[in-house]
Structure 1
Amino acid sequence: MCWAGVGVFCGTMYRGVNLSLRLLQDVFKLDRGLQWIEPVQLTFVILGVSMAALAIMILGTSCLATGATRQEVYRSNKGRIGGRVVSAAFIFIIYVLLVAWILVFACCIVVTGAYAVYWGVCSTTEIGYDRAKIDFYPFHFLFPEGTQKVNMEVEGQQEIKQFCIDYVERATIMFILATVSCWLVIMSLIHFLMALSANYAHIRGHVKFTELQDLHDIASETMTLTDRDTVYVHKG
């Protein structure tokens, strides 16, 4: 679930950001102040690779702390200490990532809501390709300083088609998918956190189990030796 969520999120966010960039350049004629978009796209790729690698490492740690494998790997004292340290480290990393993904989820909701609003505006009967215009001048504070008022208005058949159909509609779908996939990643991280906490408790409890098993083995050997001595005494 984590791999699927991260893959869909990175792909849809990359496409959504690319559509947003083209929207700003083709419709609003903005070329300044957009240098941050390419680093954001690169961040999505790095995030996807990092999360996939982390999921593989967590899967390996979980397998080592499960069932009979745990008894073989964590039989020694050093092995148990190492297992507890690794589990605790992954618990901390997952907790930090969970907080980060929750913030990303909140940002996705805001962006998706904004695009959904303008998709609804484009769907109204008042907006026609040759009968109306969409005025963004009330939001002039969001535009770079020096932007002309005419570039804040979407007017004409070509511009309204570009804005509504080519960019807003497609970007809204991309951001909706990104929001859903982000929620899947959060659910998978919660599942990872629960599994790692359980594994940490199992490794810690395995110490007591091993000690009881050793005491049982010593008691069994003592009883066996006592029985042998008793037999030898009777024979003597």
Structure 2
Amino acid sequence: MSQLRLYRHPLSGNAHRVELFLSILGLEAELIDVDLLHGEQKQATFLAKNIFGQVPVLEDGDLTIADSHAILVYLANQYDHAHTWLPIEPAGAAEVQRFLAVSAGPVAYGPATARLINLFDLPLDKTRPIDVAHQLLSTLEKHLRQRDWLAAEYPTIADIANYSYIALAPEGGVSLEDYPHIQAWLRRIESLPGFAPMQHSAIGLAA
């Protein structure tokens, strides 16, 4: 097996979803912290790994993959030989992709953004991201009433991609109290073999 190296920030939800999936797959990776607060991700050395200057970035031997969703897809295809985390049949793969888009859309612009504003005490209006967060959570609450997982009858990378920032929503002032089915879904993910929790802090950076 090639040497895996993950460039990350310990408080980044995007990085955590990759760390979580690596742990669940039983893969060991060297964790390399990127100093986002001092702009290390915008320096030429890191931009050579990801032209967008964002974490996470995964190196697998001589191969470099940037973007958390792209990394999840790569890891599922490369290391999950049972093809359960990313179904290979078209309908199942499409359903997973639908929820990867949710992670990149309303999750990013809702609970993730609200958390970012809180962590940095940014002088921005948090009303909009909190509204987006609750609209999303209301939709997912209904979706999870009759099912255990987001995209299939078993856990997939769709669940991994959406977990971190939804679990961290309270750090952005978004309560999960009114969403019992989402809370139960979070607990199911946290009960998976190999689950790795994310560091919590009132000071840091979500990237």
TM-score by length of 2: 0.32
